Protein backbone atom coordinates (compact mmCIF):
# COMPACT_ATOMS: atom_id res chain seq x y z
CA UNK A 1 0.00 0.00 0.00
CA UNK A 2 2.83 2.35 -0.81
CA UNK A 3 0.77 4.29 -3.30
CA UNK A 4 1.42 7.75 -1.98
CA UNK A 5 -1.64 7.51 0.23
CA UNK A 6 -1.33 8.63 3.86
CA UNK A 7 -2.42 7.32 7.23
CA UNK A 8 -1.67 7.45 11.06
CA UNK A 9 0.95 6.43 16.81
CA UNK A 10 1.47 3.60 21.55
CA UNK A 11 1.43 2.79 25.17
CA UNK A 12 4.16 0.16 25.66
CA UNK A 13 2.22 -1.74 28.31
CA UNK A 14 -0.98 -1.87 26.31
CA UNK A 15 0.76 -2.75 23.08
CA UNK A 16 1.35 -6.37 24.04
CA UNK A 17 -1.91 -6.91 25.89
CA UNK A 18 -4.20 -9.68 24.67
CA UNK A 19 -7.02 -8.96 22.28
CA UNK A 20 -9.02 -6.85 21.84
CA UNK A 21 -6.37 -4.37 20.68
CA UNK A 22 -6.26 -0.96 22.34
CA UNK A 23 -8.48 1.59 20.60
CA UNK A 24 -6.91 3.94 18.10
CA UNK A 25 -7.59 7.61 18.45
CA UNK A 26 -5.99 8.69 15.21
CA UNK A 27 -8.27 9.86 12.43
CA UNK A 28 -8.73 9.37 8.70
CA UNK A 29 -10.33 11.73 6.26
CA UNK A 30 -13.00 10.15 4.13
CA UNK A 31 -12.27 10.47 0.46
CA UNK A 32 -14.59 12.96 -1.19
CA UNK A 33 -15.91 12.19 -4.64
CA UNK A 34 -14.06 13.70 -7.56
CA UNK A 35 -15.89 14.18 -10.81
CA UNK A 36 -14.39 12.88 -14.07
CA UNK A 37 -14.19 16.49 -15.27
CA UNK A 38 -12.11 17.51 -12.26
CA UNK A 39 -9.78 14.56 -12.69
CA UNK A 40 -9.45 15.28 -16.39
CA UNK A 41 -8.56 18.90 -15.66
CA UNK A 42 -5.87 18.00 -13.12
CA UNK A 43 -4.46 15.34 -15.42
CA UNK A 44 -4.28 17.43 -18.59
CA UNK A 45 -2.36 20.57 -17.67
CA UNK A 46 0.60 19.88 -19.96
CA UNK A 47 1.14 22.78 -22.33
CA UNK A 48 -0.87 25.25 -20.25
CA UNK A 49 0.24 28.34 -18.32
CA UNK A 50 -0.61 27.87 -14.66
CA UNK A 51 -1.42 30.96 -12.62
CA UNK A 52 0.11 33.18 -15.29
CA UNK A 53 3.58 32.06 -14.26
CA UNK A 54 4.32 28.35 -14.70
CA UNK A 55 4.54 26.90 -18.19
CA UNK A 56 3.52 23.33 -17.53
CA UNK A 57 5.42 20.61 -19.36
CA UNK A 58 5.20 16.85 -19.27
CA UNK A 59 3.60 14.96 -16.44
CA UNK A 60 6.21 13.26 -14.27
CA UNK A 61 3.95 11.07 -12.18
CA UNK A 62 0.78 10.75 -10.19
CA UNK A 63 -0.38 9.39 -6.87
CA UNK A 64 -3.46 9.05 -4.75
CA UNK A 65 -3.57 12.76 -4.03
CA UNK A 66 -1.79 14.61 -6.82
CA UNK A 67 -0.31 14.89 -10.27
CA UNK A 68 3.27 16.10 -10.66
CA UNK A 69 4.48 18.06 -13.67
CA UNK A 70 7.73 19.48 -14.86
CA UNK A 71 7.33 23.21 -15.49
CA UNK A 72 9.23 26.38 -16.34
CA UNK A 73 8.98 29.37 -14.03
CA UNK A 74 8.40 32.31 -16.37
CA UNK A 75 9.64 34.80 -13.75
CA UNK A 76 12.95 33.15 -12.89
CA UNK A 77 13.54 30.82 -15.84
CA UNK A 78 14.10 27.94 -13.41
CA UNK A 79 12.87 24.43 -14.08
CA UNK A 80 10.57 23.38 -11.27
CA UNK A 81 8.27 20.54 -10.28
CA UNK A 82 4.62 21.48 -9.80
CA UNK A 83 2.38 19.23 -7.75
CA UNK A 84 -1.32 19.64 -8.51
CA UNK A 85 -3.42 18.46 -5.60
CA UNK A 86 -6.65 16.72 -6.44
CA UNK A 87 -9.79 18.81 -5.99
CA UNK A 88 -11.14 16.91 -2.98
CA UNK A 89 -8.52 18.52 -0.75
CA UNK A 90 -9.69 22.01 -1.65
CA UNK A 91 -13.17 21.17 -0.34
CA UNK A 92 -11.91 20.91 3.22
CA UNK A 93 -11.10 24.45 4.48
CA UNK A 94 -9.29 23.09 7.55
CA UNK A 95 -7.11 20.84 5.39
CA UNK A 96 -6.31 23.73 3.05
CA UNK A 97 -5.36 25.99 5.96
CA UNK A 98 -3.17 23.29 7.50
CA UNK A 99 -1.49 22.66 4.17
CA UNK A 100 -0.88 26.38 3.68
CA UNK A 101 0.65 26.69 7.14
CA UNK A 102 2.88 23.66 6.74
CA UNK A 103 3.92 24.62 3.21
CA UNK A 104 4.99 28.01 4.56
CA UNK A 105 7.09 26.31 7.23
CA UNK A 106 8.65 24.01 4.64
CA UNK A 107 9.92 27.01 2.64
CA UNK A 108 12.50 27.45 5.43
CA UNK A 109 14.23 24.19 4.56
CA UNK A 110 17.70 24.70 3.12
CA UNK A 111 19.85 21.57 3.05
CA UNK A 112 21.28 19.39 0.25
CA UNK A 113 19.37 16.36 1.56
CA UNK A 114 15.90 17.90 1.73
CA UNK A 115 13.62 19.37 -0.91
CA UNK A 116 11.86 22.56 0.17
CA UNK A 117 8.51 23.88 -1.01
CA UNK A 118 9.10 27.07 -2.96
CA UNK A 119 5.51 28.25 -3.22
CA UNK A 120 1.91 27.27 -2.67
CA UNK A 121 -0.86 28.73 -4.78
CA UNK A 122 -4.43 28.30 -5.93
CA UNK A 123 -5.41 28.72 -9.58
CA UNK A 124 -7.46 27.07 -12.31
CA UNK A 125 -9.60 25.17 -9.80
CA UNK A 126 -6.53 23.60 -8.24
CA UNK A 127 -4.18 23.96 -5.30
CA UNK A 128 -0.58 23.60 -6.38
CA UNK A 129 2.84 23.35 -4.78
CA UNK A 130 6.08 24.36 -6.46
CA UNK A 131 9.33 22.57 -5.63
CA UNK A 132 12.82 22.49 -7.11
CA UNK A 133 13.03 20.05 -10.00
CA UNK A 134 15.39 17.19 -9.18
CA UNK A 135 16.81 15.00 -11.91
CA UNK A 136 16.81 11.58 -10.37
CA UNK A 137 14.84 8.51 -9.40
CA UNK A 138 12.65 7.78 -6.36
CA UNK A 139 14.23 5.34 -3.95
CA UNK A 140 11.18 3.09 -4.36
CA UNK A 141 11.81 2.73 -8.09
CA UNK A 142 15.53 2.18 -7.52
CA UNK A 143 14.73 -0.60 -5.04
CA UNK A 144 12.33 -2.24 -7.48
CA UNK A 145 14.85 -2.08 -10.29
CA UNK A 146 17.98 -3.04 -8.34
CA UNK A 147 16.74 -5.10 -5.41
CA UNK A 148 18.04 -4.87 -1.82
CA UNK A 149 21.04 -2.61 -1.27
CA UNK A 150 24.51 -3.68 -0.26
CA UNK A 151 25.44 -2.33 3.16
CA UNK A 152 28.23 -0.13 1.76
CA UNK A 153 25.79 1.38 -0.74
CA UNK A 154 22.83 1.88 1.58
CA UNK A 155 24.49 3.24 4.72
CA UNK A 156 25.71 6.52 3.14
CA UNK A 157 22.18 7.19 1.84
CA UNK A 158 20.66 6.58 5.27
CA UNK A 159 23.23 8.90 6.86
CA UNK A 160 22.31 11.60 4.35
CA UNK A 161 18.60 11.15 5.11
CA UNK A 162 19.37 11.53 8.80
CA UNK A 163 21.30 14.73 8.13
CA UNK A 164 18.46 16.21 6.13
CA UNK A 165 15.87 15.20 8.71
CA UNK A 166 18.00 16.62 11.52
CA UNK A 167 17.96 19.97 9.72
CA UNK A 168 14.17 19.77 9.43
CA UNK A 169 13.75 18.77 13.08
CA UNK A 170 15.86 21.73 14.18
CA UNK A 171 13.28 23.89 12.41
CA UNK A 172 10.50 22.01 14.25
CA UNK A 173 9.42 20.26 11.04
CA UNK A 174 8.51 16.59 11.39
CA UNK A 175 8.10 14.66 8.18
CA UNK A 176 5.43 12.16 9.34
CA UNK A 177 5.27 10.25 6.06
CA UNK A 178 8.80 9.09 5.34
CA UNK A 179 8.93 6.17 2.87
CA UNK A 180 10.94 5.20 -0.23
CA UNK A 181 8.52 7.08 -2.51
CA UNK A 182 9.42 10.28 -0.67
CA UNK A 183 13.19 9.96 -1.11
CA UNK A 184 14.78 11.00 -4.39
CA UNK A 185 18.15 9.62 -5.45
CA UNK A 186 19.98 12.32 -7.39
CA UNK A 187 23.08 11.29 -9.40
CA UNK A 188 26.19 12.65 -7.70
CA UNK A 189 29.17 11.54 -9.75
CA UNK A 190 30.87 8.17 -9.47
CA UNK A 191 32.52 6.32 -6.62
CA UNK A 192 36.07 4.99 -6.53
CA UNK A 193 34.89 1.80 -8.24
CA UNK A 194 33.28 3.75 -11.07
CA UNK A 195 29.76 2.89 -9.90
CA UNK A 196 27.19 5.72 -9.85
CA UNK A 197 26.97 7.60 -6.60
CA UNK A 198 23.75 9.17 -5.37
CA UNK A 199 22.62 11.95 -3.07
CA UNK A 200 19.49 11.18 -1.06
CA UNK A 201 16.96 14.01 -0.96
CA UNK A 202 13.94 13.74 1.34
CA UNK A 203 10.78 15.06 -0.32
CA UNK A 204 7.25 16.08 0.66
CA UNK A 205 7.77 17.72 4.02
CA UNK A 206 4.64 18.79 5.83
CA UNK A 207 2.20 17.50 3.24
CA UNK A 208 -1.03 16.29 4.80
CA UNK A 209 -2.57 13.47 2.85
CA UNK A 210 -5.98 11.91 2.75
CA UNK A 211 -6.77 8.28 2.29
CA UNK A 212 -9.87 6.45 1.21
CA UNK A 213 -10.32 3.99 4.03
CA UNK A 214 -11.90 0.58 4.09
CA UNK A 215 -14.80 -0.07 6.51
CA UNK A 216 -12.66 -2.14 8.87
CA UNK A 217 -10.07 0.62 9.21
CA UNK A 218 -12.79 3.23 9.63
CA UNK A 219 -14.03 1.32 12.69
CA UNK A 220 -10.65 1.84 14.31
CA UNK A 221 -10.67 5.58 13.88
CA UNK A 222 -12.79 8.60 14.55
CA UNK A 223 -13.55 11.16 11.88
CA UNK A 224 -10.65 13.49 11.24
CA UNK A 225 -7.16 13.64 9.75
CA UNK A 226 -4.47 10.98 9.81
CA UNK A 227 -1.04 11.48 8.36
CA UNK A 228 1.23 8.70 7.23
CA UNK A 229 1.36 5.42 5.35
CA UNK A 230 0.42 2.26 7.30
CA UNK A 231 3.64 0.32 6.72
CA UNK A 232 5.88 3.19 7.87
CA UNK A 233 3.90 4.78 10.71
CA UNK A 234 5.17 4.83 14.28
CA UNK A 235 3.02 3.36 17.04
CA UNK A 236 2.32 6.80 18.49
CA UNK A 237 1.29 7.98 15.04
CA UNK A 238 -1.20 5.11 14.74
CA UNK A 239 -2.68 6.22 18.04
CA UNK A 240 -3.00 9.83 16.92
CA UNK A 241 -0.77 11.02 19.76
CA UNK A 242 1.46 14.12 19.57
CA UNK A 243 4.56 13.45 17.47
CA UNK A 244 8.16 14.52 17.68
CA UNK A 245 11.29 13.67 15.73
CA UNK A 246 11.43 10.17 17.23
CA UNK A 247 8.45 9.23 15.07
CA UNK A 248 10.59 9.93 12.01
CA UNK A 249 13.36 7.83 13.62
CA UNK A 250 10.92 4.92 13.66
CA UNK A 251 10.08 5.45 9.99
CA UNK A 252 13.78 5.52 9.07
CA UNK A 253 14.13 2.16 10.81
CA UNK A 254 11.39 0.63 8.67
CA UNK A 255 12.81 2.24 5.53
CA UNK A 256 16.29 0.87 6.37
CA UNK A 257 14.90 -2.62 6.99
CA UNK A 258 13.27 -2.60 3.57
CA UNK A 259 16.34 -1.05 1.96
CA UNK A 260 18.52 -4.02 2.91
CA UNK A 261 15.99 -6.88 2.70
CA UNK A 262 13.32 -5.88 0.18
CA UNK A 263 10.76 -6.71 2.88
CA UNK A 264 8.96 -4.87 5.66
CA UNK A 265 9.48 -5.71 9.35
CA UNK A 266 5.72 -5.79 9.96
CA UNK A 267 3.13 -7.27 7.65
CA UNK A 268 -0.60 -7.78 7.39
CA UNK A 269 -3.30 -8.57 4.88
CA UNK A 270 -4.93 -5.17 5.35
CA UNK A 271 -4.12 -1.70 6.62
CA UNK A 272 -5.77 -2.65 9.89
CA UNK A 273 -3.59 -5.73 10.37
CA UNK A 274 -0.47 -3.78 9.45
CA UNK A 275 -1.19 -1.14 12.07
CA UNK A 276 -2.21 -3.58 14.78
CA UNK A 277 0.97 -5.62 14.19
CA UNK A 278 2.93 -2.49 15.03
CA UNK A 279 1.20 -2.32 18.40
CA UNK A 280 1.22 -5.95 19.44
CA UNK A 281 4.29 -7.74 18.13
CA UNK A 282 7.98 -7.24 17.51
CA UNK A 283 9.50 -6.72 14.07
CA UNK A 284 10.89 -9.48 11.91
CA UNK A 285 14.60 -10.20 12.38
CA UNK A 286 16.80 -8.55 9.79
CA UNK A 287 19.35 -11.36 9.71
CA UNK A 288 16.68 -14.03 9.38
CA UNK A 289 16.17 -12.60 5.90
CA UNK A 290 19.79 -11.77 5.02
CA UNK A 291 22.16 -13.62 7.33
CA UNK A 292 25.21 -11.84 5.89
CA UNK A 293 24.11 -8.43 7.19
CA UNK A 294 26.12 -7.13 10.18
CA UNK A 295 24.85 -7.69 13.70
CA UNK A 296 25.30 -4.03 14.49
CA UNK A 297 23.09 -2.98 11.56
CA UNK A 298 20.34 -5.17 12.97
CA UNK A 299 20.89 -3.63 16.40
CA UNK A 300 20.60 -0.08 15.05
CA UNK A 301 17.38 -0.84 13.16
CA UNK A 302 15.91 -2.71 16.12
CA UNK A 303 16.49 0.30 18.36
CA UNK A 304 14.78 2.56 15.80
CA UNK A 305 11.74 0.29 15.99
CA UNK A 306 11.37 0.36 19.78
CA UNK A 307 7.73 0.66 20.78
CA UNK A 308 8.53 3.33 23.36
CA UNK A 309 9.99 6.50 21.77
CA UNK A 310 12.22 6.92 24.85
CA UNK A 311 14.04 3.72 23.89
CA UNK A 312 14.81 4.83 20.33
CA UNK A 313 17.62 7.08 19.15
CA UNK A 314 16.66 10.49 20.46
CA UNK A 315 17.75 12.52 17.44
CA UNK A 316 18.61 12.08 13.79
CA UNK A 317 22.18 13.10 14.59
CA UNK A 318 22.43 10.19 17.02
CA UNK A 319 20.91 7.80 14.49
CA UNK A 320 23.20 9.04 11.72
CA UNK A 321 26.26 8.37 13.89
CA UNK A 322 24.94 4.89 14.65
CA UNK A 323 24.57 4.11 10.95
CA UNK A 324 28.09 5.46 10.38
CA UNK A 325 29.28 3.09 13.08
CA UNK A 326 27.98 0.08 11.16
CA UNK A 327 30.78 0.50 8.63
CA UNK A 328 33.33 2.01 10.99
CA UNK A 329 36.33 0.20 12.38
CA UNK A 330 38.32 0.91 15.51
CA UNK A 331 36.76 2.54 18.58
CA UNK A 332 33.60 3.77 16.84
CA UNK A 333 32.97 0.39 15.30
CA UNK A 334 33.42 -1.34 18.67
CA UNK A 335 31.03 1.12 20.27
CA UNK A 336 28.19 0.30 17.90
CA UNK A 337 28.98 -3.42 17.83
CA UNK A 338 27.80 -3.68 21.43
Question: Which residue in 81, 73, 141 sits closest to 115, CA to CA?
Answer: 81
Taken as a whole, the chain contains a residue count of 338
Residue from 137, 105, 109 nearest 120 by CA: 105
Which listed residue (73, 124, 177, 192) is catalytic?
177
Q: Is residue 40 flagged as an active site residue?
A: no
pTM, 2 dp: 0.77
DSSP states along 31-68:
PPP--HHHHHHHH--TT-EETTTEEEEEEEEE-SSEEE
Quote the CA–CA distance of 315 and 309 in Å, as a whole number: 11
User: What pLDDT tens digit does each residue of the chain (338 aa) get?
Assistant: 444 433 333 333 333 333 333 333 332 333 334 455 555 567 788 999 999 999 999 998 876 667 899 999 999 999 999 988 776 666 777 767 767 777 887 888 999 999 999 998 888 777 889 999 999 999 999 999 999 999 999 999 999 999 999 999 998 888 888 999 999 999 988 777 778 899 999 998 755 333 233 333 333 333 334 456 778 889 998 888 888 999 999 999 999 999 999 999 988 788 778 788 888 888 999 999 999 999 999 999 999 999 999 999 999 999 999 999 998 864 444 444 43
* Most distant pair of Cα atoms in the chain: their distance: 63
**36-132 is a CATH 3.30.200.20 domain:** yes
CATH 1.10.10.10: does it fit domain 12-28+135-337?
Answer: no
Distance, in Å, from the CA atom of 259 to the CA atom of 153, rounded to the nearest integer, reads: 10
Domain layout of the chain by residue ranges: 12-28+135-337, 36-132
Amino acid sequence: MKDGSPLVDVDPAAAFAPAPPPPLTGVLVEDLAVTPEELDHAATLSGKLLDGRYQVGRRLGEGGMSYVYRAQDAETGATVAVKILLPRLSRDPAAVERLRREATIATRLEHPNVCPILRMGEADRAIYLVMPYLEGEPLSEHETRRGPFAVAEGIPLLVQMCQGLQHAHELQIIHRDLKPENVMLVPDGAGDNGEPRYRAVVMDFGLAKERRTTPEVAKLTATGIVLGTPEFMSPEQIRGKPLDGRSDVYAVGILAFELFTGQLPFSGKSAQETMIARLRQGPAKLRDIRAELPNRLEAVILRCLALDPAERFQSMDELGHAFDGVLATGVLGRLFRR
